[in-house]
Each structure stands twice: as C-alpha cells, then as structure tokens.
Amino acid sequence: MARDDELRTALLEEGEVNAGETAANRRGGGAGADGASDNERIESVAGETPPRNGSEDEAPGATSSRAETKSTTWTHELGEILYLGVGLFLARASWVVIKTTDTSIIGHVSTEALEASAVADLWMSSTGVLTMGGVLGVFVGQAVGAGNFRLASIWLQVSLVSLVPIVIFVMLLWFLTGPILQSMGVDAALIPQASYYGAVLALAIPGRTLMGQFSQFLSAHGRVKPEANVSVFAAILNLTLGLTLVLGIPFKGWLGFGFAACPWVTAGTETMQLVVFWFIYGYLQSLPSQLGWEGWHFEEVTWARLREFFRLYIPAVLSSCSDYWRMSVIGIFAATLGNTDLAVFNASYRILWMSLTIVGCIAVTITILMSIVLVVCFAVQYIALVFSNDPEVIDLFEKSSVPIALTLLMMNLSVFLEQIPVAMGQTRTTFFAGVVGSWAGQVPCSYLFITFWRHDLTGLYTGVATGYFLLCVILGVIIFRTDWDAVVRDAQRRNAT
C-alpha cells in the first residue's frame, strides 16, 4: 500500500479529485472511513491534524472557516464536474463527427454504396455491441475512490483479458458479413460491397476496444483531456482523409477511390488514434504509471475477479444488445413501409443517436437537448439535406419531425436515468428494465401503431417514443426505491477483493 499512499498524496497535492472519490465522499456525507472530511485528510497527509468539530481546542472563528471550506469544496467539485463534462463532451462529439462524416461521404459516393453500408451496419452494430459493456469505469472509479490505485490498474488488466475472446468472436462475425446477409435474403446486388465493408472494419475492432478501455480507466481517475485531445485529432483526420481519398476533394479532375476507400479511412483513423494516444500519454508522459500501473501481473487476474467483472458486464452488454436488437426489429417494420421510408428511418435515427451520444456526457445538458428537439421540429428539412437531396426523402423528414423529436427527448431522458443504477453497479436491474421497455414497450407499440393507427413513420416513431416513456417510468421507480446503504456495502465488498 506504500505505492498507493504515495500516489494518493501526489494526486491530492495536484488537486486532481476524481469522479469516483467524489461519489464516495457524497455517499459518506463528505467524510472518509475514519469520519474525516476531505480537507482534514489532506492536512493529515501534510503532517497536521486539525481539531474535530466541537473540540475544546477549536479556535475562534472556526465556524466561519468551516463555512468557507464547504463553499470552496462545493465550487471545486462543481468545477471538477464541468471539467469532466467538457472533456467527455469533446471526446464523444468527435466520435459523432466521425460517424456523421462516414455516413455523409458514403451517401455522396452513390445511393447503392449507402444502402450496402446501411445493410452491413445493421449486422455489425447488432454484433459489435457485445464489446460495449462499459462497466470498467464502475470498478476503477470505486477503487480510486477507496484510495486503492493499484487495484484500479488490476481491474484494467481484468477487463482487457476478459474482452479478448469477445473481440475475436465479433471480428469473426464481421468477416462473415457477406454470407450471413446472403442467408438473410438481402438484395444480392448489395452483398459484395456490404461484405467488403464489414471485413475491413473488422480490423479496427481491437484498436477500438483498447481505446475504449483506456478511456474508461483515465476518466475514472478524472483524466479526460487525453481522450478529448486524441478524439478531436481523429475527427479531423477522418474528415480530411475521407474528403481526399474517397471523394477526391479538393483535387480537380480526380474523383477519389470511391467506396473502396471508405472503410479503410475509418479503420485507419481509429488505429492512428490509438497509436497517437499511446505515444503521447503512454510513452512520452508515462501517464499510466502515474496512476498506479505497475506493469502486467497476470497472477492478479484471478477467477474471482473475472467472475465479478462478468457479473456486471453480462447484464450491461445484454441491456445494450436489447437496445440494438430492438431497433433492428423496428427497422424491419420500417422496411415494410417502403425503401424510401427505410432510408429516412435509418438517417433520422442517426440524428437521434448523435444527440444521445452528446447529451449523455453531463446532466446539465438538458438545455442542449431541448434545443436539439426544437431544431428537429422546425428545421428538420435542413438536417435532411446532410443525408440526401431527394425531395421525397426531405418531405418524409418534415412530415415525421414531431414524433422524431419526441423520440429524441424520451430516448435521451431514459439514457440519463439509466446511468444512475449502472454507476451503482446495478447492471442486472438496468438490463431487465431495458428488456421490458424494449420488448414490452417499443417493439409492440411500434407494430400496433403502424398496423392499427398510421402506416407511416409518424406511427412508427410514436410507438418508439411510447416505449421510451415506459422505460423512463420504470427507471424512475428503480432509482426512487434504491437502498443506498446496500449500494455502499456492495461497493466496499467489491474493493476488498
């Protein structure tokens, strides 16, 4: 523990208060295990032991000093929250830019290329979600909050080992995109391009997964700047390479390599992002070692820790799978409306996904969310131009703008509420809530609305919004009825392993 104490002292001196520690302090009323406040523990590290409240040694004016300390602590925590929020916003917004760039560039190559990539994405997103459990932050945040930095690095190793077989399995599924789509009866004309698209992007899965785990590790330590910096770099690189290699911009007389270069640009960008991240923050700045990384210790990756990791990971990833698979089924419903309706559904859902990624960064972005809702309601025709110049497509966007905006609002609210039980380690509860909201709410409501009310995108999206509303109600009840003492005991047990 000597190493942990040194790291803790260094971080306290730098003022780097992490999100996990802040959450632990809030649960304990701002006090540590020994009943001391944050400032008392800092002064103890410096060799000074302040008097307790109510002590006869308390100096005159101590009450005023404590009030000032509380005010300073509150403003410092608010600053930390905003710092984390801005960093996460930049990272996620950059990822949104990358995905939007890919969709827009492919759409400007040809309609057939857009259709092929959409069909491939349907299969790839339904299987790629298996690598997106996203629970490492829970383990690392709680370990750091307990001052056990070495355990935090051990959990990173546990997560990497756990994901190896999953990554290999998903890569295999993406390599088989062509044969699987063919067996599903997809238009034979789209199979060659869809197969090529999936096979090339399969090469990016390892780098994408590593980047995701490293980002969760650093974010749980309160270090979001590295991810934000390399994400912005990746967004700029992806846009530059896409315009140049795919469309030939800005060179006159050259149309670029077309669709053949599309997946390579994306895969290359994600790989380069990881390389730059490792070189700057791993090699030059040795950031991992500053946060408790002492190299690989496979003996610490025990069966007990693997079981604990998968105890949270499996429900979390199944919850995500339920979401992705639910939208795949709803996409089938959209296909029954017509090819143009399906194209609009895919493009409009991309707008919802983009807003979801951004709004999920910090709770105070509810203002941003409402602004996006208003834009979708009253300026959707301009958003539609990003995906198509077809007047029929733009008209469908306008006609379904209100239910799309309603879905956007309910979707983001449900994801915000979902993060609360996930942060408490209640991934199983979240999974069951998601299953009910998806398969007892969105899917049947969408089917019933387009069958017995309106056979168009308005009916479809109204059904989706209704299902999200049901999920919000369920999550609200779960949060209201949470036993917070039990949550704290579970976190303490997990960090004692």
337-352 confidence digits (pLDDT tens): 765 666 667 666 666 6
Same domain, 394 and 458: yes
For residue 201 the two structure tokens come to 């992007």
N-to-C CA span, the chain: 14
For residue 37 the two structure tokens come to 């406040």
Query: Running DSSP on this structure, what letter comes out for residue 281?
Result: I
Q: Is residue 54 part of a domain?
A: no
Output the average pLDDT for the chain. Answer: 75
Query: What's the alpha-carbon Rg for the chain, to the nearest Å?
Result: 25
Using the 3D structure, point to which of 301, 327, 356 is the last residue of a domain. 301
Q: Is residue 265 part of a domain?
A: yes
Same domain, 32 and 167: yes
Query: Running DSSP on this structure, what letter comes out for residue 243?
Result: I
For residue 473 the two structure tokens come to 């109600």
Same domain, 222 and 85: yes
pLDDT at 26: 36
Same domain, 35 and 115: yes
* Residue 391 CA: distances (Å) to CA of 110, 253, 341, 344: 17, 29, 13, 12
Using the 3D structure, point to which of 252, 273, 301 is the last residue of a domain. 301
Same domain, 277 and 420: no
Residues of the chain with pLDDT below 50 are: 1-67, 70, 362-371
The answer for 147, left when phi > 0, alpha when psi is -120 to 50, beta otherwise, is left
HSE-up (13 A, CA, CB side) for residue 479: 15
For residue 124 the two structure tokens come to 């790839």
> Which residue, 461, 472, 484, is CA-closest to 433?
472
pLDDT at 347: 66
Same domain, 291 and 320: no
Same domain, 373 and 488: yes
pLDDT at 259: 92
Q: 37: helix, coil or strand?
A: strand
343-385 confidence digits (pLDDT tens): 667 666 666 666 665 555 544 444 444 445 555 565 666 666 6
Q: Is residue 55 part of a domain?
A: no
Say how many domains are in the chain. Answer: 2
pLDDT at 29: 38
pLDDT at 433: 87
For residue 245 the two structure tokens come to 């290699």
Q: Is residue 435 part of a domain?
A: yes
Same domain, 353 and 293: no
Same domain, 252 and 292: yes
Contacts of 39 (CB under 8 A, 6+ apart): 50, 69, 73
Q: Which domain holds residue 428?
A: 312-497
HSE-up (13 A, CA, CB side) for residue 168: 5
pLDDT at 43: 35
Q: Is residue 191 part of a domain?
A: yes
Counting other chains too, the contacts that 239-246 makes at CB distance below 8 Å and 24 or more residues apart are 239/97, 239/101, 241/265, 241/268, 241/269, 242/101, 242/102, 242/105, 243/105, 246/105, 246/106, 246/109
> Which residue, 397, 398, 288, is CA-closest to 341?
397
Whole-structure pTM over 0.85, yes or no? no
Same domain, 150 and 284: yes
Same domain, 323 and 285: no
Same domain, 462 and 486: yes
pLDDT at 169: 96
